[in-house]
């Protein structure tokens, strides 16, 4: 007798909203100075329209920051996050449709999503790690550490999936891959080995707590690179120091591949225009 197939789990409804995490986009632009000059007498109105577009709270992405970008790669940059990818892209399109926006030349963009790293241990995995490190599971110290981690975990997850952007003055962004070279293929390493290397990498970053904070977003299947790293720092010097320090970790030194770096300084739309001599 033939039995009907067992019912499978219901499929999620088609949606642009991720089941977990938010969409994230980085946009970088350069000014076409000749096009700015061509605006002429309407410059003041164009400036107001440009700033209003970025300040407008109507249908605004949940997270939005604007930056002065240093160097020739771009003049200004935006970082936006929201559950709806079209809400993010609409703000980009609205900006380009302003009169000053017609003088903007897009130079680079990066599309990604927030995620919880597979290397972030849950409560049980953290407890097992403590035991492997020699902790007595019956001891009060062990119980206190597990309880403390359990309390911190929801905050850690929220900071990875829907983070608040810090208002620190310096930022840098870069895309990255894990290499697939013969003899150094990240994706052929056992999970336990990758976890150990990422734990070393995380430990290096923890030394900069309070000085640097990071957001790692996944772009696998969404952009040309696999991840994007955004760092915010209390001082630009800390950006240099943390990247240099972490390059010595095995996960980075042997398996890391990096794209172009963009460094920026947090600024309002008005301050960006003033800095770029557009006002």
Range of the domain at 110: 23-114
On whether residue 202 sits in a domain, the answer given is no
Q: How many separate domains does the chain show?
A: 1
If you ran DSSP here, which 8-state letter would residue 6 be given? P
User: How much is the pLDDT for 3?
Assistant: 62
On whether residue 61 sits in a domain, the answer given is yes
Share of the chain above pLDDT 90, in %: 75
Nearest to 62 by CA among 30, 99, 18, 96: 18
pLDDT in tens, 73-89: 999 999 999 999 999 99
Q: How far is CA 64 from CA 72, 97, 160, 184, 240, in A?
A: 23, 18, 16, 38, 24
The owner of tokens 């640097």 is 212
For the purposes of burial, counting CB atoms within 10 Å of the CB of 4, is it exposed (0-12), middle (13-18) or buried (19 or more)? exposed
CA 270 from chain centre, in angstroms, equals: 24
In this prediction, residue 248 has a pLDDT band, given cuts at 50, 70 and 90, of very high
Query: What's the Rg (C-alpha) of the chain?
Result: 22
* Contact yes or no for 116/20 (Cβ under 8 A): yes
On whether residue 80 sits in a domain, the answer given is yes
pLDDT in tens, 48-74: 999 999 999 999 999 999 999 999 999
On whether residue 88 sits in a domain, the answer given is yes
* Cβ neighbours of residue 231 closer than 8 Å, sequence gap 6 or more: 171, 172, 173, 212, 213, 214, 239, 242, 243
The owner of tokens 């309407």 is 42
User: How much is the pLDDT for 43?
Assistant: 84
On whether residue 101 sits in a domain, the answer given is yes
User: How much is the pLDDT for 7?
Assistant: 64
pLDDT in tens, 132-185: 888 888 898 888 888 888 888 888 888 899 999 999 999 999 999 999 998 899
Tokens of 76: 């200004």
* CATH number of the domain where residue 80 is located: 3.30.70.1030
User: How much is the pLDDT for 152?
Assistant: 85
In this prediction, residue 40 has a pLDDT band, given cuts at 50, 70 and 90, of confident
Q: Identify the active-site residue in 29, 108, 174, 262.
A: 174
Following CA atoms 234, 237, 242, 244 in sequence, which dihedral angle do they give, to the nearest 10 degrees?
170
Question: How wide is the angle at C-alpha 101 spanned by C-alphas 98 and 104, nearest 5°?
Answer: 175
Q: Does the annotation count 174 as an active-site position?
A: yes
Q: How far is CA 191 from CA 7, 119, 185, 186, in A?
A: 32, 9, 12, 10
On whether residue 51 sits in a domain, the answer given is yes
On whether residue 217 sits in a domain, the answer given is no
On whether residue 178 sits in a domain, the answer given is no
């Amino acid at each position: 007798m033939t039995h009907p197939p067992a019912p499978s789990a219901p499929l999620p409804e088609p949606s642009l909203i991720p089941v977990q995490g938010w969409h994230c986009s980085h946009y970088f632009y350069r000014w076409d100075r000749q096009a700015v000059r061509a605006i002429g007498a309407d410059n003041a109105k164009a400036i107001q329209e440009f700033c209003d577009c970025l300040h407008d709270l109507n249908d605004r992405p949940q997270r939005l920051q604007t930056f002065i970008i240093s160097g020739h790669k771009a003049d200004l940059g935006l970082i936006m996050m929201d559950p709806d990818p079209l809400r993010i892209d609409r703000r980009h399109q609205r900006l380009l449709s302003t009169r000053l926006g017609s003088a903007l030349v897009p130079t680079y963009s990066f599309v990604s999503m927030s995620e919880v790293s597979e290397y972030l241990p849950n409560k049980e995995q953290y407890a097992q790690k403590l035991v492997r490190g020699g902790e007595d599971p019956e001891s009060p110290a062990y119980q206190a550490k597990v309880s403390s981690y359990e309390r911190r975990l929801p905050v850690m997850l929220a900071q990875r999936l829907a983070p608040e952007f810090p208002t620190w003055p310096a930022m840098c962004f870069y895309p990255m891959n894990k290499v697939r070279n013969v003899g150094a293929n990240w994706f052929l390493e056992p999970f336990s080995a990758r976890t150990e290397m990422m734990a070393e990498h995380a430990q290096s970053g923890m030394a900069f707590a309070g000085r640097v904070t990071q957001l790692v977003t996944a772009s696998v299947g969404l952009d040309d690179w696999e991840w994007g790293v955004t760092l915010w720092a209390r001082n630009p010097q800390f950006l240099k120091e943390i990247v240099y320090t972490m390059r010595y970790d095995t996960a980075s030194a042997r398996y890391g591949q990096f794209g172009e770096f963009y460094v920026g300084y947090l600024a309002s739309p008005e301050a960006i225009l003033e800095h770029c001599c557009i006002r």
